[in-house]
Amino acid sequence: MSKPVRVAILFSGRGSNMETLAQHLAKPDVPGQFVLGVSNRPEAGGIGLCTRANIPCAVIDHKAYDTREDFEADMQKALASARIDLICAAGFMRLLTPEFVTHWHNRIINIHPSLLPAYKGLNTHKRALDDGAKQHGCSVHYMRAEMDDGPVIVQKHVPVHADDTPDTLATRVLAQEHVAYPEALDIVLEKLASQQP
C-alpha cells in the first residue's frame, strides 16, 4: 500500500473549494491527505476552516514582502517542512512566478471559473454575459507559468440563462466547481499515488 499523497491547499478567501476538497480528502478510499493550508491573507475566512478541522495553516502575508520571490521562498519553506507532494490552488489570488510553478511541475493544480482557454483572468462571469455566451463553466487544470494556462483535467459546463447576472451565473458555476475539483483531484492523486515508492 503506497503512502497517501500529502496535499497542501492555497487559498485567499472564504475557502469554499478548500472545504470541498478537505471533505473529499477525509474519505477513507481517497489516496490523499490534506496536511497544510496556506493563505496569503491574514483575514481569509478559510483560516477558520483549517482551525476547525485541526489542519495546520501557514499564513504568509504577501504584503509583508518586498518581492514575489521572497514571499514564495517562505511559502516553499512551509511546503517543504510539511513534505508536500501536491498543491491545490483554490481561490488563491496571487500570480505565482514561473520558477515556483516550474518547481512544482504537474504537482500544482488550479480551478478557474470559465471553460478554458476562454476568459482567462478576472471577471469571467461578466465577460461571458457581455459576449452573449450560451455556455459557461469551470476548469481544473495543471498550472503552468502563464496565467490560467496548462492542460485541462476536468471541465463542467453551465448553460447561460437569458436573465442571468454575474452573481446568478457565479452561483451556478461555483456549485459545479465543487463537483469538478474533487473529480480532478482523484485523477491526479491516482497518477501520483502510482508513482509513490
* Residues designated catalytic: 112
- Cβ contacts of 60 within 8 Å, gap of 6 or more: 38, 39, 40, 71, 74, 75, 78
Cβ(177)–Cβ(138) below 8 Å: yes
Measured CA to CA, the distance from residue 117 to residue 97 in angstroms comes to 20
Number of H helices, E strands in the chain: 6, 7
Rg (CA), the chain: 17
Question: 116 is written with which cell numbers?
Answer: 478554458
Name the phi and psi angles at 118, rounded to 5: -75, 145
